[in-house]
Amino acid sequence: MAIHAIRRKFHFVTSKSSTMKVLAVCVSHTCPCRVFAHKMDDSDRLEIRSITLQHTCSVDARGDFHKQATTTVIGSLMKTRYAGVGRGPWPNERRHILCQEFSLNVSYWKAWRAREIVMDNAMGSAIGSFALVQPYIKLLLQTNPNSKVALETKLDSNGVDRFKYLFLSLHASIQGYAYMRKVIIIDGMHLRGIYGGCLIAASTQDANFQVFPLAFAIVNSENDDAWTWFLQKLTDIMPDEADMVYPMASYAACMVHLKRNIIAIFKSETLGALVSSAARVYRLADFNKFFAEINAMNRKCADYLTSIGFEHWTRSHFVGEHFNVITSNIAESLNNVLTMARDYPVISILETIRTTLVTWFAIRREAAQQEENILPPPSYSSTVPNLRLAYKTLIMPVPDVGNLTPSPGDVGGGKLAPPFVQRPPGRPRKSRIFSKGEFKRTSRKRCTRCHTLGH
């Protein structure tokens, strides 16, 4: 009724309402417009018994139709724009659409709350999606056997099972890892849903320098326990010694982040450039030359870099095969692809990851099959065959995702609760907090007459 009133631009009030019947009349006492509905015997729906849609009220009386625009009503008006997996319009975009199409002026906060409601309707509620995790896992393992999935829960003080960690690695990624460069980049990004959490990803690089996702985890918080649990589960894909988490592996920091930290701490762009040059050279003689310049310019910076350990940030001292990977750009690129999924419920996040991998594998599989021997023999023998083998395994769809139903045999009796969080006041933050030395890039305008920047 409220949607009809907004579309026809009139205002109504509910004069009588009970569990069995409802009477809505026009706000003007002289207007005959009225709708009477009664509850059906065999359904929860209402049946309209009588209706008069003719309006004789004044324009002033009908001008308060915007009062019908509650967050639920706005969500119903805009639900078609959120169909499928997608973020839909943002609150400011939604305000503009409502003003243009329905002559409604709503606040930013009301538009935000309406977006949350319609996202729940389109993709499932955030709280209900946790109870569907185990049914989703069962279907995923049926269509993609030999995938690695782990779910960990925690009992709260009231004896309620709450979500804690979830690990996922598809069989296609596990099989393809054998043909990748053995350099793993791990990173995490915070989720922006009601219950927060963090999405952790491990990825590597294929023979064509493309991002190859290996494993994902959704954890309740980014901390040492969560990272340790994730790396322990990662050993099921890439085995190592059982006593520790990858004690035989060599670790290195991202060169870009290290350079930003140097600039932020020691306030010198020149020092940051020298550190970057020292990290990228291959020969010890070249490294010693650059490090001597760093030491002469700032002794504290040299001590800081020494305390990190040269083997953790330089090519020349790194133990093992470093290949061309000296930054975490692989992980940053993957995070950028999954940016929109950060707003989704858990099941929608998992489906977004799966559908993204399906698309990547299909495109790269076809490209590798069509690739001719246009490279020199040494390069071809190590590139194209590896690409074909890496993307050989198919990723199958998960059927009936929209009809998932928990069962009593699932964790928590089919009522797995979300992690306990206390939502902070105010509008949720959408923009990322920049790390040390990082800044927002802004494009400066160029004059069309003199072709100089700044005006």
Q: What is the pLDDT of residues 81-132, one digit of tens each?
A: 665 545 667 778 878 888 888 788 888 878 878 877 777 666 667 778 888 8
The phi, psi pair for 163, rounded to 5°, reads -65, 140
How confident is the model at residue 121, as a pLDDT? 67
Residues 148 and 103 grouped into a single domain: no
Structural domain contains residue 442: no
The answer to whether the beta carbons of residues 164 and 386 sit under 8 Å apart is: no
Tens place of pLDDT per residue across the chain (455 aa)? 777 777 777 778 788 888 888 888 888 878 888 888 888 888 888 888 888 888 888 777 777 777 777 888 877 777 766 655 456 677 788 788 888 887 888 888 788 788 777 776 666 677 788 888 999 999 999 999 999 999 999 988 888 889 999 999 999 999 999 888 888 889 998 888 778 889 999 999 888 888 999 999 999 888 889 999 999 899 888 876 544 456 667 778 888 888 988 888 888 899 999 999 999 999 999 999 999 999 999 999 999 999 988 988 898 888 877 777 888 888 888 988 988 888 888 988 999 999 999 999 999 988 888 766 545 555 444 677 888 888 999 999 998 887 888 888 888 788 888 888 766 666 666 666 655 545 555 556 777 777 777 66
* pLDDT, position 325: 83
Residue with tokens 């959704």: 218
User: Is 205 within a domain?
Assistant: yes
Measure the CA–CA gap between 96 and 100, rounded to whole angstroms.
6
**pLDDT given at position 2:** 77
Q: How many CB atoms lie within 10 A of CB 32?
A: 13
Query: Is 78 inside a domain boundary?
Result: yes
Q: Do 238 and 383 lie in a common domain? A: yes
**Residue 218 pairs with which residues in a beta bridge?**
166, 199
Nearest-CA neighbor of 416 among 345, 361, 359? 345
Distance between CA atoms of residues 169 and 203, nearest Å: 11
116 — phi, psi (to 5°)? -65, -40
- Computed over every residue of the chain, the mean pLDDT equals 82
- Reduce the DSSP state of residue 116 to 3 states and report it: helix
Q: Within this chain, do residues 102 and 161 fall inside the same structural domain, yes or no? A: no
| C-alpha span between 290 and 319 (Å, rounded) | 20
Domain boundary among 124, 142, 177: 124
Please indicate, yes or no, if residue 190 is contained in any of the structural domains: yes
Element (H, E) at 451: none
Last residue of a domain, one of 91, 124, 157: 124
Same-domain status, 189 and 338: yes
Residue 134 lies in a domain: yes
- Do 120 and 135 share a structural domain? no
How far CA 78 is from CA of 50, 95, 124, 265, in Å, comes to 29, 11, 16, 48
Residue 84, by phi and psi: left (phi above 0), alpha (psi -120 to 50) or beta?
left
pLDDT at 237: 84
Determine, yes or no, domain membership for 300. Answer: no
Strand partners, 26: 12
Separation in Å, CA 185 to CA 213, 214, 333: 10, 10, 11
303 falls within a domain: no
Do 120 and 146 have their domain in common? no
Domain tally, the chain: 2
Q: Are residues 27 and 135 in the same domain?
A: no
Residue 40 sits in the same domain as residue 185: no
Closest CA to 438 of 291, 277, 287, 254: 254
- Return the closest-CA partner of residue 116 out of 68, 74, 84, 80: 74
61 and 203 share a domain? Answer: no
pLDDT on residue 440? 57
The answer to whether the beta carbons of residues 105 and 66 sit under 8 Å apart is yes
Same domain flag for 106 and 150: no
Digit-coded pLDDT (tens) for 180-205 = 888 888 999 888 877 888 999 999 98
For residue 452, CA distances in Å to 439, 441, 442 come to 23, 19, 16
Please, are residues 225 and 177 in contact by the beta-carbon 8 Å criterion? no
Instruction: Determine the structural domain holding residue 28 and report its residue range.
Output: 2-124
Judgement on whether residues 180 and 62 belong to the same structural domain of the protein: no
Is residue 206 in some structural domain?
yes
pLDDT for position 367: 85
Query: Do 33 and 94 fall into the same domain?
Result: yes
Q: Among 124, 156, 179, give the residue marking a domain's end.
A: 124
Structure confidence at residue 85 (pLDDT): 46
Collapsing DSSP to helix, strand or coil, 169 comes out as strand
